[in-house]
Structure 1
Amino acid sequence: MKKFLGRTAAAALTLAFASEAMATEWNVSVWGKRRAFTEHVEKLAELVSEKTGGDFTLNISYGGLSKNRENLDGISIGAFEMAQFCAGYHRDKNRVVTVLELPFLGVANLAEEVAVSKAVYAHPAAAEEMEQWNAMLLMTSPMPQYNLVGTGDPRDTLADFDGMRVRATGGLGKAFEAVGGVPTSVTATEAYQAMESGVVDTVAFAQHAHLAFGTINQADWWTANLNPGTVNCPVVVNIDAYDMLSDEHRAALDSSVDEALDHYVANYGTLLEKWDSVLEEKGVAKVMIDDAVLAEFRAKAADPIRDAWIADMEGQGLPGQELYDLVVKTLADHRAAN
């Protein structure tokens, strides 16, 4: 009997160690606080845990693992297994995906943003560039077109943009620069303070960020239809960590991406439906830019910046024209299918 009990205990102990060995924990570096921008990461963690019976968990840290501008560096050295970053924070490190930040691409909604991002992420040039940072592009963080909040009188003409100090990164910053603006690329978490202290006159964000980072609370007005473009913020995983996953865990992660993005888009849609009531509640005027002003803005910003970007990429040995054409074709194909 003692022998039987001893063997049973040993077997139970062995099984416990085996179960522990099979469990996988990943650390995930994001920033700010939980908001619409991070809902796909939160949903991904939920789905992966469900599909693996809790054996694969994603521990999401809001700023505790890294600064937002350093997330890609953290991935490259294996400081954590997954992270979110925005291309405009370090354009030289993720040149390929900056095609998605070109102004006035004409992306109309979040579904189109997901489509064009998936197409670019799947391009060999994007994968190759990310491999330099030991990173694999997992999914995008689709955002609607950015718009400005500001104080004082609304800036609704190009003359008003001349000399305007604006928090805008990437292609958006280039767009405002083309019409005389003075862009600064302070991070999202620094935007409120920059606005409060007068470092910037205006801030360009998507709606969730104006709420999450408090810039809407200082605003007198918001441009409802400027829509100059958006930023691209990938979620990436460390390649070594991904390769070390069991087949079951890798399948759980891969199969959860589209579900997580669907959840994100639906959640963001709810926020957009409530946006007008948010403006009213906070006493922020909704400013509509005249069509002639928008046309003038596009003429000065869209074509010249696109052509300069393509030439710059081609000069660095990257397929700039091919990437831009891919975005245009993907948009057309997506619209034809829907």
Structure 2
Amino acid sequence: MKMTLRTAVAAACLIGFAAEASALTWNVSVWGKRRAFTEHIHKLGDLLAEKTGGDFTLNISYGGLSKNRENLDGIEIGAFEMAQFCAGYHRDKNPTITVLELPFLGVATLDEEVAVARAVYEHPATQKDLARWNAKLLMTSPMPQYNLAGMGEPPAMLEDFEGMRVRATGGLGDAFRTVGATPTSVTATEAYGALESGVVDAVAFAQHAHLSFRTIDLAKWWTTNLNPGTVNCPVVVNIDAYESLSDEQRAALDSSIEESIAHYLANYGELLKKWESILAEKNVEKVVIADDQIAAFRAKAADPIRAEWIASMEAQGIPGQELYDLTQEVLKSCHEADEAMTPSGVKTAC
């Protein structure tokens, strides 16, 4: 009887050890704090745990695994399995996706942002580019057009940007430079301190970031309609980690992307509905830039920066013109129909 009991206990332990061994947790490196910008990652984690009965989970770390400018490096060496980063933090490391950060690209909605990002991510040149970092592009983090929150005198004319110190990364920084501003690429987590100390006069962010990083708490004004562009911040996974997944785990991951993005869009939509009341509550002046001034800004920034970007990409052997044309074809499809096929065969829904 004792042997039978001992055998049963041993068998139960072995089963427990086996179950524990089969469970998988991926570490995910992000920064700041939980916010609209990271909601799709949390939704993805919930879906994975649900679909696998807890056998595949995400451990989402806000700054505990890496600095935000070093997340791609961490993915390369396998320090963690998943990470979020923004292309403008290190344009030389991910040149292909910087096409999505070109000023005045023409993206008007978050759905369009998802569609153009998906198409660019699926392009062979982009996948080859990110594979240098052992990174597989999983999903985008769509953000609205950026606008400025600042202190001091609000800009009304284009010349008012002359000498203004603006926190703006990537193509946005290039755009503000064309109108005489001085862009700086301090990270999102450094933006509040930079604005408070006077290192910058204004910060270019989407609405969620102005809230999360509290720049709106300092701001005296907000440009409602400047809309020069946005930044692109993918979620990537380590290729080796992805390929080592079981068929069931990989299916759970792949099948959860669209629902995670849908959750992100719905959540961000709720934030945008509240934005006007937030500005009123904080007594932030809404600055409306005249149409002729925006047109002048676009003329200075859009065509010259795009031409320079394409030439730079082509010189590196990257199909810059093709990538840019792809974004425009997708946007055209978005405007013409709810669903369309891009030249690369990527189905888009806008």
Indicate the SS of the match to 1:149: strand
How far apart, CA to CA, are the structure 1 residues paired with 2:7 and 2:331? Answer: 64
Partner of 1:315: 315
For 1:109 and 1:218, the matched residues in 2 are separated by 27
Report deviation, 1:163: 1.0
Matched, 1:334 2:339: no
- Cα deviation for residue 197 of structure 1 reads 0.7
Match of 1:238 in 2: 238
Q: What displacement does 1:17 show?
A: 2.0
Q: Is the 8 A contact 2:24 2:56 kept in 1?
A: yes
Shift of 1:24: 0.3
Query: What's 1:21 paired with?
Result: 21
- Give aligned pairs, total: 338
Partner of 2:285: 285
Deviation at 1:334, TM superposition (A): 1.9
In 2, Cα distance between equivalents of 1:30 and 1:77: 16
| Percent identity for Structure 1 against Structure 2 | 72
Instruction: Note the alpha carbon deviations across 1:20-67, whole angstroms, 9 max, x for none.
Output: 121001110000000010100111111111111111110000001110
RMSD: 0.9
Which residue of the partner structure matches residue 215 of structure 1?
215
Shift of 1:4: 3.6
Map 1:127-276; keep pairs closer than 5 Å: 127-276=127-276
Q: Displacement of 1:158 after TM fit?
A: 1.0
Q: For residue 84 of structure 1, what is the aligned residue in structure 2?
A: 84
Query: What residue in structure 1 maps to residue 343 of structure 2?
Result: none
* Rounded Cα–Cα distance in structure 1 between residues aligned with 2:196 and 2:17: 54
Give 1:6 shift.
3.8
Which segments of 5 or more consecutive residues in structure 2 lack a partner in the other structure? Answer: 339-350
Counterpart of 1:274 in 2: which secondary structure? helix
Q: What letter matches 1:224 in structure 2?
A: T
Residue identity matched to 2:247: D
Q: Hey, what's the Cα distance between the residues in 1 that align with 2:111 and 2:18?
A: 42
State the secondary structure of the residue aligned to 2:325: helix
Q: Which residue of 2 aligns with 1:68?
A: 68
1:171-203 Cα distance to aligned partner (Å, 9 max, x none) = 000000011110000000000100111111110
Please tell me the residue identity of whatever aligns with 2:169.
T
Is the contact between residue 165 and residue 200 of structure 2 (CA under 8 Å) also seen in structure 1?
A: yes
Gaps of 5+ in 1: none
Which amino acid is the alignment partner of residue 258 of structure 2?
D
TM-score, normalised relative to structure 1: 0.98
1:48 alignment counterpart: 48
Q: Offset at 1:9? A: 2.8
CA distance in 1, matches of 2:231, 2:156: 22
Matching residue's letter, 1:312: S
Deviation at 1:7, TM superposition (A): 3.6
Q: How far is 1:70 from its partner?
A: 0.5
* Matching residue of 2:102: 102
1:115-134, aligned counterparts within 5 Å? Answer: 115-134=115-134
Counterpart of 1:242, as a letter, is Y
Normalising by structure 2, what TM-score? 0.95
